[in-house]
Amino acid sequence: MSSAALIGLLELFEAHGITIWLDGGWAVDAALGTQTRPHKDVDLILALSDVPKLQLILGDRGFAVREGIVPHSFVLADSTGLEVDVHSVRFDERGDGIYLIHNGEDWIFTREALSGSGRIGGKAVRCLTPEAQVECHAFGYTPVEKDFRDMEHLAARFGVDVPETLRRPDQSHTAR
């Protein structure tokens, strides 16, 4: 997914009143203010109540559910290969986003975690804070090379502590 394609999607969502936070690799790049690597998709966090509108808008543009469980965690894809990985949250009275994980447990995106901001191609965007991005990367999957690089970038730029599980095995003693 190019930065231009992502900006187009974000502007489309904004035009329809859908508030989006970036997660995953694009959130790292947004926080850094520059694209550091290619991205196959975009990970989005949005209000559970906006999922039907998002599906309708993207459905009109050829996106269909490829995998996952609607409305909580699913991937929409189009015929050109663009993918949107959707993570919907229910907001509580504090402003924390409660995300239902595939295993039935809740993951809390705190109000503070959702207070991140960054830039994609010069466009201001909402994203998870660097600390929240590290926390999310440490949960639920085995990191690969791109994840190690993303964590190194966040540690170098923002001084966030990166757990040993998110450090390259050959460099764990030198990473923050």
CATH number at residue 50: 3.30.460.40
User: Could you give the number of structural domains in the chain?
Assistant: 1
Q: What is the mean pLDDT of each run of 10 residues along the chain (176 residues)?
A: 95 97 97 96 98 98 96 96 96 97 93 98 97 89 90 96 86 49
pLDDT value at residue 3: 96
pLDDT value at residue 170: 72
> Which range of residues forms the domain containing residue 29?
3-130
Tell me whether strands 83-91 and 97-100 are parallel, antiparallel or unpaired: antiparallel
Q: Is residue 174, in this structure, part of any structural domain at all?
A: no
pLDDT value at residue 171: 60
pLDDT value at residue 128: 98
pLDDT value at residue 175: 46
Q: Which residues pair with 126 in a beta bridge?
A: 117
What's the CA gap between 25 and 38, in Å, rounded?
9
Q: Is residue 143, in this structure, part of any structural domain at all?
A: no
Burial class (CB in 10 A: 0-12, 13-18, 19+), 145: exposed
* Predicted TM-score (pTM) of this structure: 0.92
What's the CA gap between 164 and 175, in Å, rounded?
8
Q: Is residue 154, in this structure, part of any structural domain at all?
A: no
Q: Taking a C-beta distance cutoff of 8 angstroms, is the pair 60, 78 a contact? A: no
Q: Is residue 149, in this structure, part of any structural domain at all?
A: no
Q: Which two tokens stand for residue 126?
A: 């909402």
Q: Is residue 105, in this structure, part of any structural domain at all?
A: yes
Q: Is residue 172, in this structure, part of any structural domain at all?
A: no
What's the CA gap between 93 and 111, in Å, rounded?
10
Q: Is residue 147, in this structure, part of any structural domain at all?
A: no
C-alpha distances (whole Å) from 36 to each of 94, 96, 150 are 34, 29, 8
pLDDT value at residue 155: 95
Q: Is residue 82, in this structure, part of any structural domain at all?
A: yes
